[in-house]
Structures are given as C-alpha cells and as structure tokens.
Amino acid sequence: MTDWVEKQRNILDFTLSSLRRRKGRHLGMLAVYAAIVFLLASVMLFSHAIKREAAIVLADAPEIVVQRMVAGRHDLIPGAYADRLTGIRGVAAVTPRLWGYYYDAALAANYTILVPTDQAVPAGSVVIGGGVARARGAGVGDTLSFRGYGGEQFFFTVAEVLPHASELVAADLFLIAETEYRAMLGIDDGAYTDIAVSVRNPREVVTVANKIIAALPDTRVILREEILRTYDALFDWREGLMLVLLTGAVLAFAIFAGDKASGLSAEERREIGLLKAVGWETTDVIAMKVWEGAAVSLAAFLAGYLLAYLHVFHFSGALFEPVLKGWAVLYPEFRPAAFVDVFQVLTLFFFTVFPYTVATIVPIWRAAIIDPDAIMRS
Amino acid sequence: MRNSTIALALATLGLTAVAATLLDATLRRHAEASDLRDRADLVRRYGLTDLCLFTEARYTRHLSQTDLHAPFQDHPVSLDHFPSGSLVGPPPGWRDHD
C-alpha cells in the first residue's frame, strides 16, 4: 500500500512538473473552466437561497385570494362579494383588501400602494419601504407629494420607514389610509382590489376554493400553495434566459475542454513515447493523465465554487443585480439568506470533476498502447 | 518540498474551505434568523403575496397574482418587453395544458 501511494505521488510530482512546463495553456484553460463553474454555482446558490427564503417568508401569505375577472382582466371586486364569501361553509375570515400600483412619474418608478388591514395609518401619513425612501431621498418626518387620478396633489408625512432588512418583501411599499387611497386613485366606496379568505380546516382549502368559484363564477381564486409554487419555479436554472445563457456557455466550454482534453499535441505524444521508452507502463501513463485531469478540474471547482459563495452571500450577488434590476428604478437591496443545498454542491462537484477527468483518459489510452518507437517517429 | 505535497495541501485546504462555506452559511442563518422572522411577520401583517424582486411591471412585481396573459395584454401581438419577463420561468402547471 505504501509503495502504491509513493508511486502515485511520484507520478503526481511528474504530472505537476509537466503542467508547469505548459503553464500558459493550462492556466488559460483553468481560468475559463473556473469561470464556468463560478457562473453555474452562482446561479445555483442564488436561486436555491431565494426559493428557500420565499418558502419561509410567504408561508403566512393569504390562504386564498379571490380576484374578480372582467373580460380576462383583474378588476375591482364589490364589497358585497365579501358577504357572500362569509356565507360559504368552511370559511373562517374574509378580508377585503385595497392595494394597487402607483407610477411616480418624477422618478419613473412603480410603487405598491397598500392599505394595511390590521392597523390604520393616520390620514396624511405614509409608511414607506426602504426602496421608496432611497429613491425619494425621504426619511421620517419628511413630506412627499403625489398627483391623484384627477390631477390634484396629495401630501403625506413619512411616519415610518420599514426596516432595511425587510426590503426583499417591502422595498416598494407605500402604506396609506383607506380614505386617501380611494381619493387618490379614484376608487369608489364599496369596491376593493381583491379579497383574502382564510379557511377553518387547512385540508379543506381546495374544497372551499371550488365552492367560491361555483358561487362567484366571475372570480379567480389563487391559493397560497400556488403562490409558493410560483416562487419554487422562480429562477429555475432550467428555465428562461438562464437556460439559454448557461447552455451556450456550457456547450462552448464542453467543446473547448473536450478538444483540449482529448486532442494530444505532438509534444505530448513525444513525451508519452519517451516515458514508455524509459520504462513507464501504460497504466502509469494513464494514471499521469488522470492526475492531470483531476488537478485541473478540482482546482476549477474549488476556485469557481468558493468565488460563487462569496459573490452570492457576501457581495449580495452583485453581478446579477443589473440582470435582476431590468428597467426597474426601485430595486430592493438584499442579501439572500444563506441556504446552501449540500446535495447541489456535491452534484456540481461530480459534474465538474469527473467528466473532464474521464475525457482525458481515452486519447491517452490510445496513445499509450502504441509502440513508443512509432510515436516518437510520427 | 515536493510538488505533490504542495498540491495535496492545497486540495485539502480548498476542500476544507468548501466545508467551511457550509458552516458559514449555518452561522449566518442563525445570525440573521430574526431578520427572516421580521420579513415573515411583515408578510402576515400586510397580507403580502410576493417577493419584491422586479418592480418594473405589475405582472413582474406580483408574479403570483398576475393575469395569465398579463405580459401580452397591451395590444395584439404585444410581446413581453420587460427584461425580467425573460428571467422567470412560467409557473408550474401551465405547461400541463400543452
């Protein structure tokens, strides 16, 4: 056993010297390889962390949201619908809600304007999210003015800025009193944006949802489970733009790596010939190439993964910000909660290290079984 | 020192660093647990339904509440022109209709 280990260490010594002799070629390869692993690992870590956080944070989202649909679009729902919902067996509570969007033309930013149901914001006051405060340069006690639907100005004194740590759910929130919401947006009394429904027995949610649709056919019902599933699918690396970008990058790398790993240069062939001529066995030559593949791919995995971890959890995924921000003026400043899936890391390790290592074996085996004299003469 | 000794030491160091990221993640989660609870409280208090990730369009701000055809509703052959629309995959279940 000790002999075998010593032999492998000698082969590894020789392999590393050989790599060092062609360091320009191998460092270039390593940089591209590590960059691909970094990109894949960053997407993987970021999307997993957001999904887990969404599952925890949105676990107490409304159990059922009832929207009224008119000509295929979400429309205001009459308060009378709430009374009909209250009469459905299994329904525990019905809460008509007022919320919507406000486009701030001065900043070209969209706010989510909402009337809290559990606490009254005093008339003339507003509670704002961190993103709104940043965009408007506003703090507690400042006065903000907004144009209503009829052109008149509304003035609000900032009563509270929601904590910075809440930006992932509340960066663009703008909480005001019901009277001002209706006056500013021109919503009649008795009309609401949607209705939140809670159910007595959680196992009866689907049954209650079906009863709601039967009782109010012009409504659409959104279950909490659907909300959670939406965020479970969000940023799925198998979806959308990520797929296009990553597939292109990975395919380009696969061709590059396959070419580098499987094609032997004349110099390498001569080296193999010399090694065999001085007494190396075919298995030793293969072991040398396996060590080379393992060294390059392991270094790429370690560098790529560790940089990706720092990028996502210590630098808030800064490279993703322009992509996530899109054309939005308001963007939440947040650092994903550090949820790391060990299984995902192991999968990344496996698919990073093994294919490259194996890809190096086939051509070297072909070269290693040829007569050394023929290799050196070719 | 032998090349193999340096390489094995670096590999061990690197793998230890990978393991350390898992420990770091656990410690950070514990340290930030109250922030996570605060966010969950805010969701419960205000009845929020979505994460505030994309504020550029209403159908990207509230992904779970949006109309099924929201990105394409402004006029016939209206394609989704907000960048975040291309980042987000369709909700699960929609493709079951195919």
Position B98 confidence tier, pLDDT thresholds 50, 70, 90: very low
Mutate to test the interface with B, among A17, A57, A329 (most CBs of B within 10 A): A57
Each domain of chain B, given as residue ranges in start order, spans: 1-35, 49-66+75-88
Nearest to B92 among A69, A163, A229 (CB): A229
A53 touches chain B (CB under 8 A): yes
Compare CB distances from A326 to B14, B52, B83 and report the shortest one's residue: B83
State the residue for tokens 């406000």: A102
- Please judge whether A234 and B63 are an interchain contact, meaning their C-beta atoms are less than 8 angstroms apart: yes
Distance (Å, whole) CA A52 – CA A341: 10
> B26 to chain A, minimum CA–CA distance in Å?
7
For residue A118, the 8-state DSSP code is S
Q: For the CA atoms of chain A, what is the radius of gyration? A: 31
Pairwise CB contact (< 8 Å): B91 & A172: no
Task: Give the closest-approach CA distance of A374 to chain B in angstroms.
Answer: 31
Whether residue A208 contacts residue A64, with contact meaning beta carbons closer than 8 Å, is answered with: yes
Whether the CB of A185 is below 8 Å from some CB of chain B: the reply is: no
Of residues B47 and A119, more confidence is placed in: B47
Average pLDDT on B22-26 reads 95
Nearest to A309 among B21, B67, B87 (CB): B21
Q: What is the mean pLDDT of residues A291-315?
A: 93
% of chain A exceeding 70 in pLDDT: 95
**CA distances, A273 to each of A70, A206, A279 (Å):** 79, 72, 10
Q: SS3 for A324?
A: helix
Domain map (residue ranges) of chain A = 2-58+234-377, 99-186
**A300 in Cβ contact with A30 (< 8 Å):** yes
The contacts of residue A264 (CB under 8 Å, 6+ apart) are A272, A363, A364, A367
Residues of A in contact with B29 (CB under 8 A): 337-339
Q: What confidence tens digit (pLDDT) does each residue in A11-56 have?
A: 899 888 888 888 887 888 889 889 989 988 998 899 889 989 999 9
User: Mean pLDDT score of chain A, rounded to an integer?
Assistant: 87
Q: Which CATH number fits domain A99-186: 1.10.10, 2.170.240, 2.40.40, 2.60.40?
A: 2.40.40
Q: Provide the CB-side half-sphere exposure for A171 (13 A, CA).
A: 23
Q: Is the pLDDT of residue B97 over 60?
A: no
Taking contacts as CB-CB distances below 8 angstroms, the residues of chain B near A242 are: 87
Q: Facing residues of A66 across strands? A: A195, A221
Contact B49 A61 (CB under 8 A): yes
Among candidates A353, A226, A52, which has minimal Cα distance to B18? A353
Alpha-carbon distance values, A170 to A297, B86, B89 (Å): 42, 23, 23
Residue B74, chain A, CB below 8 Å: the answer is no
**pLDDT, tens digit (0-9, with 9 covering 90-100), for A129-168:** 999 999 999 999 999 999 998 889 999 999 999 999 999 9
